Structure 1
C-alpha cells in the first residue's frame, strides 16, 4: 500500500477535524493487517478532557472496519513542526501494534519522521504483563 494513499487519507481526516479551541488540526490514517486504510481526526470539546485525538478516532474506525492490527500509522498535524502522539495515544497504538508497526509523523504533506512504536514508547506496559505464562 502506498504511503501516498495513507497521507491522502490523513490529510482528508485533518480537513474534517474539529479544533475551535486549540486550532491544532490533526488527521491520522492507519494501514491494517488486511491492507485497509482507516482514518480519523481530532474532535475537541469545550470541556477539554472530553476531546478525542485523531489516533484514537482512527483506531476506532479500524476496529469498526474489522481490522485488529496496526501495520502503519501516519499522523499529520497543522502546526509548523512535527508533533508526536500524546502519551495516551502512544498506549492506544501499542495495544494494536506489532513489533514492526511504523509511525510516520508529518507536517502538512511531508513525512518528517519514521519511527517504530517502541521508539515512541520504550519500556512500555503491555498485555504481556497481564498474562499468566
Structure 2
C-alpha cells in the first residue's frame, strides 16, 4: 500500500471543526502492514488526538510494535512536522534512521528521519538505575 495515498485518504476523515487543520498520517511497520490515523479534535481544546498518535495507537492495537516508515500530510504552506509529543511517540517505536516524509496537500514533500526530528530523544536507557 502506498503511504502517501493512505495518509491523504485518511486526512479527509479528520475531525477538525475548531482549527480546520486536517492532518493524516500513515505508518508502515517492519512486517509491511500499514496503519493510518487522522487528527481528532475535541471541544475541550486542546484535548484532541494527533494523526500520528492515532496511527500509532491503531498499530499497537493490532499487535505491531516497529515502525519502518512514516508519512504525514496536511494542507499547509510547507510540509508540517509532527508536534513534540508525536516526535517522542514515533521515537518509541522507530529507530533513529527510520524515514519520515512530511508533505502538503499541494504536493510538496520533505524527507527526514526520526532521529533528525528528535535528536537526543528520551529513551528507556535513561530510566536505568546504576
| Cα-Cα RMSD | 1.5
Using the TM superposition, give the Cα deviation of residue 49 of structure 1 relative to its aligned residue in structure 2, in angstroms.
Answer: 2.7
Are 1:100 and 2:97 an aligned pair?
yes
Structure 1 residue ranges without an equivalent (≥5): none
Q: What is the rounded CA distance, in whole Å, between the counterparts of 1:6 and 1:109 in structure 2?
A: 16
Match of 2:65 in 1: 68
**Separation of aligned partners in 2, 1:94 and 1:111:** 24
Residue equivalent to 1:81 = 78
Alignment gaps of 5+ in structure 2: none
Q: 1:75-116 CA distances to partner (integer Å, 9 max, x unpaired)?
A: 000122211000000000000011321111000163511111
1:44 aligns with 41
Could you say if the C-alpha distance between residues 48 and 9 of structure 1 is closer, same or farther in structure 2, counting changes exceeding 3 Å? same
Whether the 8 Å contact between 2:95 and 2:115 is mirrored in structure 1 is: no
Match among 9, 15, 27 for residue 12 of structure 1: 9
Give the distance between the partners of 2:108 and 2:32, measured in 1 at CA. 20
Is the 1:104–1:111 Cα contact (8 Å) retained in structure 2? no
1:59 pairs with 2:56: yes
3-state SS, counterpart of residue 28 of structure 1: strand
The answer to whether the 8 Å contact 2:75/2:106 transfers is no
Q: Secondary structure at the match of 1:81?
A: coil
Instruction: Confirm or deny: 8 A CA contact 2:96 2:116 kept in the other structure.
Output: no
SS at match of 2:80: coil
Counterpart-to-counterpart distance in 2, 1:110 and 1:102 = 18
Q: Partner of 2:87 in structure 1? A: 90
Out of 25, 28, 42, the position equivalent to 1:28 is: 25
* Separation in 2, partners of 1:56, 1:15: 17
